[in-house]
Structure 1
Amino acid sequence: MVCGVLLCMQPVMAQRIKDLASIQGVRSNQLVGYGLVVGLPGTGEQSPFTEQSFRTMLANFGIKMDSGVKPKIKNVAAVAVHAELPPFVKPGQTIDVTVSSIGEAASLQGGTLLQTFLKGLDGNIYAVAQGSLVVSGFGAEGADGSRIVANTPTVGRIANGALVERSVASGLMQNDYLTLNLNYPDFSTAKALADTINQRLGADPQKGYALATPIDAASVRVTAPRDVGQRVGFVATLENFEFTPADAPARVVINSRTGTIVIGQDVRLMPAAITHGGLTVTISENQTVSQPNALAEGQTVVTNQSIVDVNLDDSRMFKFDPGVTLDQLVRAVNQVGAAPGDLMAILEALREAGALQGELIII
């Protein structure tokens, strides 16, 4: 049975605009910082940059250490802190942060992140992170060097661990219009989206009055009120409109690592004949001991014995007529007992032969 085939046979249903598109300029931003985690139970590190960061932290509090003194800081680890700043977040609100070890620390379990500045792409500080880490993984090591690790003990998370200090201006009020970007570009879907907005808002493109205009396969421009309050209400109404997107392109997606195969409902096959079979060659090497008779002269020797076994499975051929559907393809392949790996080879051969009507994507 071809267990790795997932079937996409459900008809396309009407969906909300908010589920299929996003507003251009309304986006999240990535933040990153460098800090120290303290309070580790001996699972920290003794690296040069950790020592330098530790000395700098003490200097900020007016404590100076002699250059010749090397601190023992096995309970400290240097970490990278990153977070995502959602749109419309204001100063004083909090966001989650993820803390990852960047040195030789064995675990961050039980550690506390000290005050860390989180910067954006422009170099400005947008949030400050601090707090106790929650680590799902753990590790243990024996005296002989044996070690066991579950999950990832060098990565932790702090819920609401960063306080936002600076907000980012959104693109909601930059122009007299909004641009809706489709999550999956398609010309037919863009036109259907624009037609739905015009119909629901009473616009008539035939008379030269259109509120929504498709720009390309990914974007639809919509005229919006200039007043802030009216625009927010306009977007709230707009994003709940439902429309039916266009059918997805005929496509076969193969994950060569996991054996997963997804075939779209519009995939068709041209006339083709396929044979399926396999040749198995097994070679084994055995060692035997040759010992002479007790009364005979000779020496005991070890000899190698090679066994070569060839197994040719029964080859079967099945034929596809014009316009064969996905269901017929899977049924035919199941009848010959092809595994997911065999189906991958069959689909690739069909594409090379020009008999597969659809795009073949291998990831």
Structure 2
Amino acid sequence: MNAQILPLAGASAPQHPLDSASLFRSALQVVETEARAIAVLQSRIDDSFLKACQLMIDCPGRVVVTGMGKSGHIGRKIAATLASTGTPAFFVHPGEASHGDLGMITKKDVVLALSNSGETDELLTILPLLRRQHIPLIAMSGNDGSSMARLADVHLDVSVPAEACPLGLAPTASTTAALVMGDALAIALLEARGFTAEDFARSHPAGSLGRRLLLHISDIMHTGDQVPRVDSTATVAQALVEMSRKGLGMTAVVDEKDTLLGVFTDGDLRRALDDHAVDLRATALTSLMTTRAKTITPDKLAVEAARLMEEFTIHALLVVDHAGKLVGALNIHDLLRARVV
């Protein structure tokens, strides 16, 4: 643990080589200090927390989060987390609020203000104006006797035993505590609203979760003439031509009403070629096809198709309606293009 960290080739050597033991010791002290700060919050989940949640869930408008400096950075993250978990929210910079952005806040909103000291000038300039409009105010600070705490309808205490900074100056444990309290609010409200994974996906349509929870089979399947199909009287040669034209590695076998009878796949063809007792020119296609084909309905999620393909080690699926009529087809490449897998 006494090894020195040497500079990279070509880089200027530091005046004092770094002591790895000291670095590890310092980092572990930070983790321990911030862990204690979070642990203290458990006793702060109390009636004030409950009242804050009630104000936010009853809010007919939006939760407006504001804070200066490092508290502002934490506030932006809290606003984003609230918005993505079912509580409409946005961030307003207190400095900009004094120069016109205060008009973004309406009487239907609730304000969540962050300041470790509770004495941030930019906040104390705007908060009395909001109180005159009877806009509910939730203060989150490390000083329950501060000016901001006295102005607030609810004060959430996020004071910490100590900052992780050895100088006691840089916001470290205090910003972590504020962030965790913000997450606690967001998740408590999420559960109170009955917010679901599908609701979350609607807020994240471009993300992988959104695609997995919002994309249905009907959104990506091939339809109409793009679906490979032959009737029950087709020969193996006709089936191969249809498979080549449609490029899905299979063809459906249907009756005159388009009801699915079976599927003939590349795998069925390989097995037939390997069976010397099978005469491909004379054997009926219906005797070579798979009659219990794996299918899916168009209303199912695309991720369900991926699960079926993985479970049964297949690369394509036929899509049928609830009466068993062929309505579409898709393969693994369609799922890859849709970034479902």
With structure 1 as the length reference, what TM-score do the two structures score? 0.28
Q: Which has the higher contact order (CA 8 A, sep 6+)?
A: 1
